[in-house]
Amino acid sequence: MVAGSTGLLGGTFDPIHYGHLALAEEAREALGLERILFVPAGLPPHKADQRVTAPDHRRAMVELAITDNPAFAISTFELDRPGPSYTVETLEHFAAAAGPAGPVPALTFILSAEAFGQLLTWRQPHRILALARLAVSPRPGFRTPSLGWLEEHFPGQEDRVVFLDGPLLGHSASEIRRRVAQGRSIRYQVPPAVAAYIADHELYTDELWRKN
């Protein structure tokens, strides 16, 4: 374990599922991270035209999902601030507390190969790599960008990216929402406490969620 090292896993978490948890644990173990912070997005800019569950519900589901892992914690930084949630601004906030980003930075941003393939469309992608190391997890159905792609688009920053071997899980929040809307089971896709919360608060139950 690298003392003081932190992994950040952002996302809408609508809802959080076992794929998110397995990815966080894989990164923690593979990279020797001391803790993983789950950072639910406030207003995701790439989902501005999509329906997103209220922040209080998404925060509560994350808290329930991570309660049994002492290395996991939640940050409400993005939920508490107004406006869209941009990764570069979140990393600037945490990097200021973590200290200088050296060859092996104290801050690691965890994301899927799907998200990494879209990195060039994010706000200040080169700044993101300057602030944190990126840990990229494979995702079924999405090709992981090659070293050549990295060299072409992020020359001199290739060492800021590490590719994880797993986990190879195909969980999808949108599919979970559809299953709930259709009255189908989501057992073994989300932690039991999260499934109970969804049922108790009647989340994802109306017709609109079948296509969202």
Percent of the chain scored above 70 by pLDDT?
A: 92
Least confident of 8-22, 69-83, 88-102, 118-132: 88-102
Determine the Cα–Cα distance for residues 200 and 90; give it in Å rounded to an integer.
Answer: 32
DSSP class of 146: P
Secondary structure (3-state) at 162? strand
* pLDDT at site 103: 47
Domain ranges of the chain: 2-211
Average pLDDT over residues 118-141: 92
**How do residues 58-89 score in pLDDT, each as one tens digit?**
999 999 999 999 999 999 999 998 888 899 99
For 149, residues 6+ apart whose C-beta sits below 8 A from its C-beta are: none
Determine the Cα–Cα distance for residues 162 and 82; give it in Å rounded to an integer.
Answer: 32
Tokens standing for residue 51: 């329906």
Cα separation of the two ends of the chain: 40
CATH number (3.40.190.10, 3.10.310.10, 3.10.180.10, 3.40.50.620) of 2-211 reads: 3.40.50.620
* pLDDT at site 106: 80
